[in-house]
Amino acid sequence: MPQTTESDEHKALRSAVAALGNRHGRPCNAQELWSEAGKLGYLGVNLPKEYGGGGGGITELSLVLEELGTAGCPLLMMIVSPAICGTVIARFGTDAQKRRWLPGLADGSRLMAFGITEPDAGSNSHRITTTARRDGADWLLTGRKVFVSGVDIADATLVVGRTEDARTGRLKPCLFIVPRDAPGFHRRPIDMELHAVEKQFELVLDDVRLPADALVGDEDAGLLQLFAGLNPERVMTAAFAIGMGRYAISRAVAYARERTVWNAPIGAHQAIAHPLAQAHIDLELARLMTQKAARLYDAGDDAGAGEAANMAKYAAGEACVKAVDQAVHTLGGNGLTREFGLASLITAARVSRIAPVSREMILNYVSHQTLGLPKSY
């Protein structure tokens, strides 16, 4: 059963990462923080020791991301590079793929992006049209992807494509490592209203020729390999949201203690204090589910982790939006100023409700998979 209290080792890790995050603060130089976190072993804490990692799991990696977020300097690419790509390669990659990629992903010297979403598929991964076909010993990959983070700074992108099953003729998902300089691999930045260090891109793959060893894992494994990366993605997104929410609440609490109106700090008034307390409770509940999901995944319970990871991501997204909204409201007009740094979180918090899967699709998952209700689609 998942533990409900953290070990001394995890508490020490939290403390050390929090100290790192607080040294950098908000706003921070993400590149410098990434480099230092990598050198200290935090970015690869979930990867195997024999390839330069810490030998831990998603439990430890999500803890690192949460604490950096709480310090106001979350690293979005942690969700993508070590959590999704690193996990998939560690579980299913060949020995050569592991030797080539894992040490760099562990120390932060190499980055890998992840491409799954398509313009016409949305949340329906069964409608992915990016296809791979054999051409001699090579693969030819053709298709489009959207909302791919950090392609411009990544050494390669782990792309979800589909290959034809020779027995049934049906398409099945497969994962390919596409180097950033591969001929036919084009990227275009998406103009986002959200201002973030990590940029979003649309990808066009025009008969990108890949060697046989670009395929990660077994060609016939299909969804097993895909969800090996998607469950950690949900856990890490939850940790990202919880950290953001904790940061917002901490700023609001500090303000409410000091801001005095009518001879008393505004935090003494229940109209201010109670909503902040409720937001804190929601974040703590979401954190507990996130810890459960991470531990189930690390224990090898993919089915249990899938359910818990979706619930954790839902709970964390809702708690984050509520926390940020209440924090901004606590500061009043100051909450919208650049000086206090909370207004930018209003848009950022919404992302945790939308990506990597919308809250509505999570409710679909829980209603179908957990409650056994019939599908409407």
Summarize pLDDT for 187-235 with one digit per residue, the tens. Answer: 999 999 887 888 999 999 999 999 999 999 877 666 678 778 899 999 9
Dump pLDDT digits (tens) for 278-297.
999 999 999 999 999 999 99
Average pLDDT over every residue of 93-109 = 97
Give the CATH number of domain 8-111; options: 1.10.540.10, 3.30.2270.10, 1.10.10.10, 3.90.180.10. 1.10.540.10
Domain ranges of the chain: 8-111, 113-216, 223-370
For 313-342, the pLDDT digits (tens) are: 999 999 999 999 999 999 999 999 999 999
CATH code at 113-216: 2.40.110.10
Q: Indicate whether 167 pLDDT > 60.
A: no
Is pLDDT above 90 for 166? no
What confidence score (pLDDT) does residue 1 get? 43
At 3, is the pLDDT very low, low, confident or very high (cuts 50, 70, 90)?
Answer: low
Q: Which residue has the higher pLDDT, 110 or 127?
A: 110
Reading the block at residue 168, the tokens are: 């049934």
pLDDT confidence tier of residue 123, bands split at 50, 70 and 90: low
Q: Which of 53-57, 73-77, 78-82, 124-128 has the lowest mean pLDDT?
A: 124-128
Supply the pLDDT for residue 122.
66
Determine what percent of the chain is predicted with pLDDT higher than 70: 95
Length of the chain: 377
Instruction: Assess if CATH 1.20.140.10 describes domain 223-370.
Output: yes
